[in-house]
Amino acid sequence: MDRITTLILDFDGTIADSVKGIVYTATETLSELSLTPVSEQGIISLIGLPLTEMFRRMTHTDDEEFISLCTTTYRRIFKEKALDSIDLFPTVKESLLFLHSEGISLNIASSRSRGSIYHILEKEGLMEIFDIILGVNEVVNPKPHPETVQRILSEKGLSPEEALMVGDTTFDIMMGHAAGCPGCGVTYGNHSKEVLLSVEPEYIVDSFDEIVPLLTKKD
């Protein structure tokens, strides 16, 4: 890990404990639009994908106009009823502040819209410690396509080996690997350890603070 100077972090399920809010909002969206319900586990299995892809899979349709209606409804319900209920996972805030103080560059690559990421980070007093925040709005090709990670590497002038992609889903690790970056899976999010291991992350941690010694240990 000697060359790692940069973290590229997923948001939902990695930094923010948002699963209940996402499941609630998706369920309410399906209900409001009189669509067939999807089980809680079914929704959780899709977290990490862009909303358009989530609803494409949940509704089994490729009708772009209808998918747009689903995502618009979801974002309205989330903003009105779920956004302010989102908190950070244990040890995340103190670990991020410490890594920032150690000179580690912190960046976010998320399937969430950037506005809601800003809202949550501002609430937690963490906006200033991040260098680049890319939401789904900023890219043409979302996860697991490598574009988001490639954009961050390019803007910072980094080689892939200098950045560690951290996420709770296979989509995150696949995105990082496709860009040439090593990956670290976190087991407390939406995909189990067994599922994460199927895409061969270089590291697995059970708590966010376990990332700290990976980047700060000295020989």
Q: How far apart are CA 178 and CA 213, in angstroms?
A: 25
Backbone angles phi, psi at 103, to 5 degrees: 90, 10
Give the residue from 164, 175, 163, 158 showing the smallest Cα distance to 205.
Answer: 164
Backbone angles phi, psi at 12, to 5 degrees: -70, 125
CA angle 153, 202, 51 (to 5 degrees): 60
Catalytic residue among 2, 12, 63, 168: 12
The SS3 assignment for 216 reads helix
- For residue 219, give Cα distances in angstroms to 15, 47, 129: 28, 38, 27
Is position 209 annotated as part of the catalytic site?
A: no
Q: How far apart are CA 21 and CA 43, in angstroms?
A: 11
Is position 2 annotated as part of the catalytic site?
A: no
The one-character DSSP state at 35 is P
Contact 156, 105 (CB under 8 A): yes
Q: State the catalytic residues.
A: 10, 12
